[in-house]
């Protein structure tokens, strides 16, 4: 049975009146779950990176956790966690009741004091308070290959300065802001290297009675330990992903069978605008995602067997009928970041070549529970595009300014390992990308280790101080010269 029949079949079997009304009612129910799911996700993440110790489940920092576990942008995930950590109980209740969208609720953390909540909620519901929307701007294409390659290089530099693998729109906004404000490149690099204070941790326990998501998801379960908290987060993520899939199935069914006409509407857009807070554009994106997930029966079967949507989506665009089973086998033996690297590499080389490299590495582990990673994949730099579409008209000039003003540091001696590794953390379950990353002596000086670059590794500060020196994980070299990383949870990753 396919995903579509799993969703539509039970609805058709239970229908008493109009099937079109039943489908729309189910879409209402699914739409209403967005706020409660995201809020509870934020609460559990605040617990995991607050009173609990995420190092026990392999993650020394939130960025690594977001890359490996979440199917959302790291900045967005941080905002959801900040909302979950906050004491804005009335804003949380308004979110769960559908009075305030999640995109607006996360802004309240910085803008609203607890005593201002009622007034703020009333302003959002009346339309007096709303996120500022910029007027749509005509976009342009960069068609010259030299200019496209130059912009791509500046984007790479900007990501290093920003300190994470930001999306193209985020990088574009950052470069344009630096250009318009004529910011000093030296100060920008200095700020990027400065130590950041960690976000505040919630010190007061969550009140069991203050649980606005309970009517939708049931009472909040308090995690017993880090492993249990991760299980709760993964359950919510699966619910979040399946909600999108079910909405896509119902939307496709509504369009294909023109059920909106039975409800008195001339178009599906008219129906969506009238009855749902979601936009047609969002539902169409869900539909495209569903098409990718179900293109091959093997992908659909992997989902049914419990493989997370992140991994299936990562390989959906590269897999073919001949190699989809090999890609799925690969996806089970590596982290999400490593899988995305493998896919990006295969898009430039060939799937056969990349799959062969990883499969040989897997064979050498001789252990079905050991993950693999390749140094070549981490250091691989994708080819520059020959054309870039849909960018801001000022972007090229902004990139010229950014490239001239911002000069990345050129460390010498022991710290040069940072540049050698592209300012990327070598922990295979982290891969943090930042100027704040530090040099580490693999063989410690008190044990006879030297300052030679061959004894140097590049680690982000959390992995360096809280990971390696905090005994949360170890890195050893086996008899064949391969790196073996072992984590507190028991996870092992072999790096070739």
- Asked if 27 and 276 count as a contact pair (C-beta separation under 8 A), the reply is yes
The ranges assigned to domains in the chain are: 3-126+204-285, 294-373, 409-495
How many Å apart are CA 373 and CA 403, to the nearest integer? Answer: 32
pLDDT (tens digit per residue) in 269-321: 999 999 999 999 999 999 999 999 989 999 999 988 889 889 999 999 899 99
DSSP string for residues in 388-442? EEEE-TTHHHHHHHHHHH-------SGGGHHHHTTTB---TTT--B-TT-EEEES
How far is the C-alpha of 424 from the C-alpha of 438, rounded, in Å?
10
Taking only the tens place, the pLDDT of each residue in 123-176 is: 988 887 776 666 677 889 999 999 999 999 999 999 999 988 888 999 999 999
Does 11 score more than 60 pLDDT?
no
Q: How far apart, in whole angstroms, are the C-alpha atoms of residue 185 and residue 403?
A: 9
d(CA 71, CA 290): 15
Q: What is the DSSP secondary-structure string of 171-204? A: HHHHHHHHHHTT--HHHHHHHHHSPPPPPPPP-S
Q: Is 72 exposed, middle or buried (0-12, 13-18, 19+ CB in 10 A)?
A: middle
Q: Check the CA dihedral 234-34-279-94 and report its sign.
A: negative
Q: What pLDDT is attached to residue 73? A: 80
pLDDT, residue 6, reads 59
- The token duo for 232 is 């709760």
Per-residue pLDDT tens digits for 354-409: 999 999 999 998 788 899 999 998 888 888 899 999 999 999 999 999 999 999 99
What's this model's pTM, rounded to 2 decimal places?
0.88
Distance CA 163, CA 423 (A): 9
Give the tens place of pLDDT for each residue, 98-128.
999 999 999 999 889 989 999 999 998 888 7
Q: Is pLDDT at 263 greater than 70 in this prediction?
A: yes
């Amino acid at each position: 049975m396919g995903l579509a029949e799993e969703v539509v079949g039970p609805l058709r079997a239970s229908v008493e009146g109009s099937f079109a009304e039943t489908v729309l009612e189910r879409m209402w129910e699914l739409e209403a779950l967005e706020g409660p799911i995201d809020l509870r996700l934020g609460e559990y993440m605040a617990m995991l990176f607050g009173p609990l110790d995420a190092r026990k489940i392999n993650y020394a920092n939130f960025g690594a956790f977001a890359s490996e576990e979440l199917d959302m942008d790291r900045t967005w995930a941080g905002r959801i966690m900040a909302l979950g950590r906050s004491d804005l109980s009335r804003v949380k209740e308004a979110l769960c009741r559908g009075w305030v969208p999640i995109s607006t609720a996360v802004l309240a953390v910085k803008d609203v004091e607890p005593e201002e909540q009622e007034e703020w909620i009333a302003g959002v519901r009346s339309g007096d308070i709303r996120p500022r929307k910029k007027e749509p701007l005509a976009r342009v294409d960069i068609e010259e290959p030299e200019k496209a390659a130059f912009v791509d290089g500046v984007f790479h530099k900007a990501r290093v300065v920003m300190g994470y693998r930001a999306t193209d729109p985020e990088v574009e906004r950052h470069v344009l802001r630096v250009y318009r404000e004529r910011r000093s490149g030296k100060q920008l690099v200095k700020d990027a290297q400065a130590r950041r204070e960690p976000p505040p941790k919630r010190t007061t326990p969550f009140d069991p009675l203050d649980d606005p998501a309970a009517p939708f998801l049931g009472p909040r379960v308090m995690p017993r330990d880090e492993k249990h908290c991760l299980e709760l987060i993964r359950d919510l993520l699966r619910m979040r992903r399946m909600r999108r899939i079910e909405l896509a199935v119902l939307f496709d069914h509504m369009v294909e069978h023109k059920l909106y006409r039975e409800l008195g509407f001339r178009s599906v857009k008219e129906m969506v605008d009238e009855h749902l807070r979601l936009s047609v554009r969002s539902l169409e994106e869900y539909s495209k995602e569903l098409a990718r997930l179900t293109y091959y029966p093997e992908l659909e079967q992997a989902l049914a067997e419990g493989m997370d949507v992140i991994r299936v989506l990562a390989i959906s665009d590269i897999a073919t009928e001949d190699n989809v089973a090999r890609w799925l086998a690969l996806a089970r033996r590596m982290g999400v970041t490593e899988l995305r690297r493998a896919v990006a590499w295969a898009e430039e080389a060939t799937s056969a070549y990349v799959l062969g490299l990883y499969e040989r590495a897997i064979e050498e582990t001789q252990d079905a529970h050991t993950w693999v990673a390749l140094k070549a994949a981490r250091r691989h730099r994708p080819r520059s595009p020959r054309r870039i579409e849909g960018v801001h008209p000022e972007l090229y000039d902004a990139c010229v300014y950014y490239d001239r003003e911002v000069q990345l540091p050129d460390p010498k001696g022991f710290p040069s390992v940072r540049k050698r590794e592209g300012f990327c953390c070598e922990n295979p379950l982290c891969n943090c990308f930042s100027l704040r990353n530090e040099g580490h002596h693999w063989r410690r000086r008190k044990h006879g280790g030297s300052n030679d670059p061959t004894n140097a590794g590049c680690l982000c500060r959390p992995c360096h101080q809280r990971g390696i020196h905090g005994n949360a994980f170890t890195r050893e070299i086996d008899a064949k010269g391969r790196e073996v990383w072992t984590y507190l949870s028991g996870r092992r990753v072999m790096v070739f």
